[in-house]
């Protein structure tokens, strides 16, 4: 049964090629265009996805971002959109030097909410303090490199520097905190007085 289906498909394919070859130029273009259109979604669906990085690779990304001994051009490849915010890297170095903090990416590395994105937990270790685990730190695959998302680069800086030293670009992009869950409900307007005689 399976062999019969393959044979039938082969015959149909042969007929299709024969018909296309015998058709005029216009028909050939239509067939070619139709084939290209039908192949496009398949090619998109089968597009190679960036290989999942290891915790060690992502840890290297954070270390290189704050390494003052590396050329700035190389460091800019470690943060999403780094070419647009070169000043960010000196601040990252400063935050680690002043606070003595180190960041360590730990397993597991998980797929992100969008394509070419992964999430990882990062241990923040500061002198004289218990390590703090920061969850869901986002890394994105951009221009052939795994990079720390710009928002998370700002978040990590903000966790080690006093507010007055956090760069304006990070303050401007900081998410607005939601109101506390147990906040009192707004006072209701008093009910209107009943009409006279009712």
* Confidence at residue 167, expressed as pLDDT on a 0 to 100 scale: 78
Lowest mean pLDDT among 61-65, 84-88, 148-152: 84-88
Instruction: Name the CATH topology of 55-173.
Output: Nuclear Transport Factor 2; Chain: A, (3.10.450)
> Distances in Å between the alpha carbon of 9 and those of 5, 31, 39?
6, 18, 18
* Confidence at residue 190, expressed as pLDDT on a 0 to 100 scale: 54
The answer to whether residue 179 scores a pLDDT higher than 60 is no
**What average pLDDT does this structure show over 115-132?**
91
**What average pLDDT does this structure show over 39-51?**
48
Query: Under a CB-based contact definition with an 8 Å cutoff, are residues 118 and 105 in contact?
Result: no
91 — pLDDT class (breaks 50, 70, 90): confident
**d(Cα 15, Cα 83) in Å, to the nearest integer?**
55
Lowest mean pLDDT among 94-98, 127-131, 152-156, 163-167: 163-167
* Confidence at residue 33, expressed as pLDDT on a 0 to 100 scale: 46
**d(Cα 56, Cα 60) in Å, to the nearest integer?**
6
| Terminal-residue alpha carbon distance, the chain | 88
* Confidence at residue 196, expressed as pLDDT on a 0 to 100 scale: 57
CATH 3.10.450 residue window(s) in the chain: 55-173
* Confidence at residue 61, expressed as pLDDT on a 0 to 100 scale: 96
* Confidence at residue 140, expressed as pLDDT on a 0 to 100 scale: 95
């Amino acid at each position: 049964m399976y062999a019969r289906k393959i044979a039938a498909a082969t015959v149909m394919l042969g007929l299709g090629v024969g018909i296309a070859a015998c058709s005029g130029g216009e028909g050939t273009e239509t067939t070619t265009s139709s084939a290209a259109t039908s192949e496009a979604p398949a090619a998109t669906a089968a597009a190679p996805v960036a290989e999942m990085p290891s915790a060690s690779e992502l840890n290297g990304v954070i270390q290189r971002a704050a390494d003052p001994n590396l050329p700035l051009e190389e460091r800019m490849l470690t943060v999403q959109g780094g070419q647009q915010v070169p000043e960010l890297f000196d601040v990252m170095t400063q935050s680690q030097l002043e606070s003595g903090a180190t960041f360590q990416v730990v397993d597991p590395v998980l797929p992100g909410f969008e394509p070419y994105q992964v999430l990882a937990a990062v241990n923040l270790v500061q002198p004289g303090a218990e390590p703090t685990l920061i969850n869901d730190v986002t890394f994105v695959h951009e221009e052939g490199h795994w990079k720390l998302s710009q928002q998370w680069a700002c978040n990590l800086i903000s966790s080690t520097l006093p507010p007055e030293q956090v760069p304006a670009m990070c303050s401007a992009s900081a998410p607005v905190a939601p109101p506390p869950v147990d906040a009192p409900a707004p006072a209701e307007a008093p009910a209107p007085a009943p009409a006279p005689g009712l």
